[in-house]
């Protein structure tokens, strides 16, 4: 019976650096002795002076530990795979950074892979990965990286768990509502793998702290949901020479890539400038199917593991597109932009900038002439003032809740339906949180409307400060 024997990385030096040897045999014992006879050094590692298999060597037949079969007497058949797993099991070992018996059991499916083995698992254990965001993308990322044995996981997050998160942020549960996401995530990671070191950065990532945080890690994984932070993460990774595993989601579609300026393009090579504020709604405004971040986040985790192992073909210079509705993947080639301001041949960005300003986001001011608070709007409506309320959200959002007396004109429909509005009227526009409606206000002002304002904080502010019975989503 021809049987394939998988040789672990530390022992390959004794068999000409081969990762596999094919021999004939009827039992595990016969096969292993034939393998051992090919090298005196290998034989010394596998068997003691009395010819017995050493107690720090575990052997698997296909995916089963032979100690739970018939040990060395276990019969083999054509095409079987025997894996040699050196470990500590009550004795000493000549291998550095030995794994415990529990480690061998936990990572056995990894150790059976020639691309991983003990050497690869050790790389995972030594790796330090920073996950920015413990939300939709961060949830599967953190769970799978912890399960895979990535030794140090850093988490950047400052948010708390909300009921609206539970539809997709699977690292959190109902009992965690109101807790800090970073604490909830740490708890679940430890439940999966108590050996993982979790480093919590309970803060908003900013130009002031990004370099200090990111330089502590080998790989950065972007699980953010806003443009300023995406550009901040990209620029910090380029300046520090760190690979950035990118993922983004919206409704039923997602994107994945690996931006590593040492070997390929960066995020700015793909998107040199951000879209105007409010033009591209976030998942909080546009929605996302709950399974999608699981798909994209898992792909990001896979890319991170490949980078750690140094195996396979990472998505450097490639953008993977996923359409869940059509269940279709598409790959696009990305090229490094020689004129890129941060990773090009003559970069103009040598330090982190103000990314809120770069993305066109300015802090709202209480006296902003283009905005009105929920309390002020409620007071003016109650007094009988003639104010035209325009809801620029989508129909499905309108169905959830609305302000009485409003009319629905979705943001994308405003240019075609602007004739339905009168420049002489007092107009107040609103969306969920005020970003889309702010964009609509600017558009109307540009074409001649003067008495138009944005509801600060959107319908969420109305529900919080005026109508507590209104559902929030």
Strands 57-61 and 64-65: antiparallel
Q: Are 85 and 57 in contact (CB under 8 A)?
A: yes
In the three-class reduction of DSSP (H, G, I as helix; E, B as strand; rest coil), residue 331 is classed as: strand
The two three-digit tokens of residue 450, written as one number: 């003067």
The two three-digit tokens of residue 280, written as one number: 């591209």
The two three-digit tokens of residue 441, written as one number: 């206000």
Q: Are 233 and 220 in contact (CB under 8 A)?
A: yes
C-alpha 145/C-alpha 298 separation (Å) is: 9
C-alpha 368/C-alpha 376 separation (Å) is: 13
Active site residue 237: no
Which residue is catalytic, options 269, 340, 401, 431?
431
Beta-strand ranges (E) seen in 334-467 are 371-372, 387-391, 407-408, 426-430, 452-455
C-alpha 118/C-alpha 126 separation (Å) is: 12
C-alpha 23/C-alpha 250 separation (Å) is: 52
C-alpha 317/C-alpha 338 separation (Å) is: 14
Which residue is catalytic, options 237, 266, 283, 359?
283
Q: Are 222 and 266 in contact (CB under 8 A)?
A: no
The counts of H helices and E strands in the chain are 18, 18
Active site residue 401: no
C-alpha 209/C-alpha 112 separation (Å) is: 41
C-alpha 80/C-alpha 62 separation (Å) is: 6
Active site residues: 283, 431
């Amino acid at each position: 019976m021809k049987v394939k024997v998988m040789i672990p990385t530390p022992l390959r030096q004794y068999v000409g650096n081969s990762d596999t040897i094919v021999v004939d045999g009827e039992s595990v014992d016969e096969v292993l002795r034939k393998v051992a006879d090919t090298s005196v050094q290998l034989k010394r590692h596998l068997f003691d002076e009395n010819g017995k298999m050493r107690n720090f060597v575990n052997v698997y037949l296909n995916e089963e530990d032979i100690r739970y079969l018939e040990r060395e007497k276990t019969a083999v058949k054509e095409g079987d795979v025997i894996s040699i797993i050196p470990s500590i099991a009550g004795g000493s070992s000549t291998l550095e950074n030995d794994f415990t018996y529990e480690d061998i059991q936990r990572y056995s499916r990894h150790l059976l892979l020639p691309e991983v083995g003990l050497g690869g698992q050790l790389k995972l254990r030594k790796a330090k990965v920073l996950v920015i965001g413990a939300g939709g993308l961060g949830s599967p990322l953190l769970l799978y990286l912890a399960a895979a044995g990535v030794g140090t996981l850093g988490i950047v997050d400052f948010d708390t768990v909300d009921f609206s998160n539970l539809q997709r942020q699977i690292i959190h549960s109902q009992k965690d509502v109101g807790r800090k996401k970073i604490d909830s995530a740490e708890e679940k990671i430890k439940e999966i793998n108590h050996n993982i070191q979790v480093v919590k950065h309970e803060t908003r990532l900013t130009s002031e702290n990004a370099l200090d945080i990111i330089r502590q890690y080998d790989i950065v994984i972007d699980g953010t949901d806003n443009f300023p932070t995406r550009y901040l993460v990209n620029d910090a990774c380029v300046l520090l020479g760190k690979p950035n595993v990118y993922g983004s989601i919206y409704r039923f579609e997602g994107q994945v890539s690996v931006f590593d300026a040492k070997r390929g393009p960066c995020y700015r090579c793909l998107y040199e400038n951000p879209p105007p504020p409010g033009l591209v709604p976030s998942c909080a405004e546009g929605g996302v199917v709950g399974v999608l971040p699981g798909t994209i986040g898992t792909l990001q985790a896979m890319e991170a593991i490949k980078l750690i192992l140094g195996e396979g073909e990472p998505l450097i210079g490639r953008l993977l597109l996923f359409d869940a509705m059509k269940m279709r993947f598409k790959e696009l080639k990305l090229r490094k932009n020689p004129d890129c301001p941060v990773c090009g041949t003559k970069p103009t960005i040598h330090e982190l900038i103000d990314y809120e300003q770069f993305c066109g986001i300015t802090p709202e001011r209480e006296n902003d002439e283009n905005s009105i608070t929920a309390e002020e709007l409620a007071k003016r409506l109650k007094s009988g003032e003639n104010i035209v309320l325009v809801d620029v959200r989508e129909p499905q959002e309108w169905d959830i809740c609305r302000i009485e007396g409003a009319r629905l004109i979705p943001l994308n429909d405003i240019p075609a339906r602007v004739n339905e509005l009168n420049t002489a009227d007092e107009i107040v526009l609103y969306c969920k949180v005020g970003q889309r409606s702010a964009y609509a206000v600017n558009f109307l002002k540009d074409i001649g409307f003067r008495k138009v304002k944005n509801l600060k904080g959107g319908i969420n502010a109305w529900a919080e400060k005026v109508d507590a019975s209104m559902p929030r989503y």
